[in-house]
Structure 1
Amino acid sequence: MPHRSRLAGFIIDCNTDDLDAAADFWSQALGCSIADRDAGDETAEYQMFGDTPGDLHIEVQKVSHPSRVHLDIEADDVDAEAERLEKLGAKKIAFVKRWWVMEAPTGQRFCVVKMKHPERGAPANTWEVL
């Protein structure tokens, strides 16, 4: 059965004790508003941006690892997309709650997450299962 996926957006991982200040900086740098300062849950601290270019999902996340930016790919079938990407050379690093953390053949980390709003944004690519 085919599945669909597309670029969802990116997460700005910040190794900081002041996530509000980090979100303020990045929202102003990118020209976006802060739509939700409490977008996280009991296990993660996030702040979600609004008014993003191309309706991309952009968040600032408090992390314990070094600061970096990572992409999110959203899919209507997270496992099928992770398998497709493995066939292209990516590696699964960990399944966290409901998404895959993966690593590209060139070393960049990214996540495969569940598609939230299939009707919004750019059309998703359709992939046939091989």
Structure 2
Amino acid sequence: MSHRSRFAGFIIDCNTDDLDAAADFWSQALGMTIADRDAGDDTAQYQLFGNTPADLQIEVQKVDHPSRVHLDIEADDIDAEAARLEKLGAKKIAFVKRWWVMEAPTGQRFCVVLMRHPERGVPPHRWD
């Protein structure tokens, strides 16, 4: 069965007790607005930036692990996309809340998340 995926954007993981201050710093450093201070839910704390380049999803996330930046790949079928990436050499690390955390053959961690707005931005790639 085919599925679609594409690069979604960047997540700035912040190991902090003050997500507002972290989002304020990054929005000012990057010249972006904070579009939604409450973009998370009961299981995750996010703040979403607005006026991002190329309509990329860029968020600040409160995390328990060391601070870092990671990218997201969005797909309309996250299990199919994770399987496709495993065939390319990636490893599944964990299923967290509603996405796959994966590791590239070169060691970088990234996430496979559910596609939010397939009609926006660059058309997703169809994989058969």
TM-score scaled by length of structure 2: 0.97
The reply on whether 1:65 has 2:61 as its aligned counterpart is no
The reply on whether 1:18 has 2:18 as its aligned counterpart is yes
Name the counterpart of 1:91. Answer: 91
Corresponding residue SS for 1:42: coil
CA distance in 2, matches of 1:31, 1:7: 21
Shift of 1:43: 1.7
CA distance in 2, matches of 1:97, 1:25: 27
Identity of aligned residues (%): 84
Displaced runs of 4+ in structure 1, greater than 2 A?
none
**After the TM superposition, which residues 107-122 of structure 1 pair with which residues of structure 2 at under 5 Å, given as runs?**
107-122=107-122
Corresponding residue SS for 2:89: coil
The reply on whether 1:7 has 2:7 as its aligned counterpart is yes
Question: Across the two proteins, how many residue pairs are aligned to each other?
Answer: 128
Structure 2 unmatched ranges of 5 or more: none
Name the counterpart of 2:30. Answer: 30
TM-score scaled by length of structure 1: 0.95
CA distance in 2, matches of 1:27, 1:90: 31
Give the root-mean-square deviation of aligned CA atoms.
Answer: 0.8
Corresponding residue SS for 1:28: helix
Corresponding residue SS for 1:113: strand
CA distance in 2, matches of 1:90, 1:119: 28
The reply on whether 1:78 has 2:74 as its aligned counterpart is no
